[in-house]
Amino acid sequence: MGLSALRVDLLLSFNTSRLNVLVALLICAALVFYFIRQGKKRKGLFLRPISGLSAIEEAVGRATEMGRAVLYTTGLGKMERVATLASMNILGNLARKVASYGTPLIIPCYDPVVMAVAQEVVRESFAKEGKPDAYREENIYFVTQSQFGYAAAVDGIMTREKPAANLFLGTFEAESLILAETGNSIGAIQIAGTDSTIQLAFFIVACDYTLIGEELFAASGYLSRDPLVTGSIKAQDWLKVVIVILIVLGVVFSTLNLDFLSELLSVK
């Protein structure tokens, strides 16, 4: 088959009804590329302040002043959960602060794979701060894969160790209020965030700061200021603006019986 014949076959096989998907994909890629370039050029992009993430410095400082530990848990999620991956990114930045202040960090784990990853993340963070000898692997340990057994164990740790700061960031279920109430009872400053909208309500009433919605996933870019991450976040925000504008225009045009926009955007 000649080259010209191959081109004709490719053109004939192109599904023109899905051209809008191709256009949307190109717009998304262009925005991400643009904001990553801007982030590298400006040495950082503006992200609105997130009180829960800003309070991490305060929480670590408070624990250091009181001579007590910081307790961190990723909840019940395994490593394939997006919330657990986001939590590990936050843990890396937290561990660097803890290492610089010389504050004990306790991480009881629900899953043994998460435990192994957490150990590596914290070890690397301590090494980056130039304090590899301060790393304590025994403070990051596996507890149990029983949901309420894990909740009882973490409650016991909080009661005995009385950490000055508790960070609940990851996947949580019915045990969320049990953990948060126990932490509140010992007077710890508490920062929470999860991808479960149901459990967010319990964290909001029992914790000092709560990461709501996508704030948990944006946290790594907010803390690290990596232009690749912050550029992607800015691009997503602008894409949301574009989508909202299209929805509003669609409602207006449909009300006026002008259906050309919905036909243009529809995927057949």
* pLDDT tens-digit readout, 221-251: 677 667 777 777 778 888 888 888 888 887 8
**Residue 154's CATH number:** 3.40.50.720
**CA distances to 86, 158, 189, 257 from 184, in Å:** 24, 10, 8, 56
Is 92 part of any domain? yes
Is 8 part of any domain? no
* pLDDT tens-digit readout, 59-95: 898 999 999 999 999 999 898 888 898 899 889 889 9
Is 5 part of any domain? no
Residue 40 is predicted with a pLDDT of 75
Residue 37 is predicted with a pLDDT of 80
Q: Does residue 114 sit in the same domain as residue 234? A: no
Q: Does residue 84 sit in the same domain as residue 214? A: yes
User: In whole angstroms, what is the distance from residue 215 CA to residue 198 CA?
Assistant: 16
Domain span at residue 115 reads 51-223
Whether this prediction's pTM lies above 0.85 is answered by no
What is the mean pLDDT of each successive set of 10 residues along the chain, which is 268 residues long?
54 65 81 79 71 83 91 92 88 90 93 94 92 91 93 94 93 92 92 88 90 77 70 80 84 74 56
User: In whole angstroms, what is the distance from residue 169 CA to residue 165 CA?
Assistant: 13
Residue 260 is predicted with a pLDDT of 60
Residue 17 is predicted with a pLDDT of 67
Give the count of beta carbons closer than 10 Å to the beta carbon of residue 236.
16
Residue 240 is predicted with a pLDDT of 84
Residue 33 is predicted with a pLDDT of 84
* Buried/exposed code over 153-164 (b: 16+ C-beta within 10 A; e: otherwise): ebbebbeeeebb
Q: Does residue 38 sit in the same domain as residue 56? A: no
Is 4 part of any domain? no
Q: Does residue 108 sit in the same domain as residue 203? A: yes
User: In whole angstroms, what is the distance from residue 248 CA to residue 243 CA?
Assistant: 9
Residue 43 is predicted with a pLDDT of 67
Is 7 part of any domain? no
The contacts of residue 37 (CB under 8 Å, 6+ apart) are 231
Residue 9 is predicted with a pLDDT of 57
Q: Does residue 32 sit in the same domain as residue 115? A: no
Is 9 part of any domain? no
Q: Does residue 136 sit in the same domain as residue 25? A: no
Residue 48 is predicted with a pLDDT of 72
Find out whether 110 and 141 touch, Cβ atoms under 8 Å. Answer: no
Per the structure, the count of domains in the chain is 2
Q: Does residue 207 sit in the same domain as residue 99? A: yes
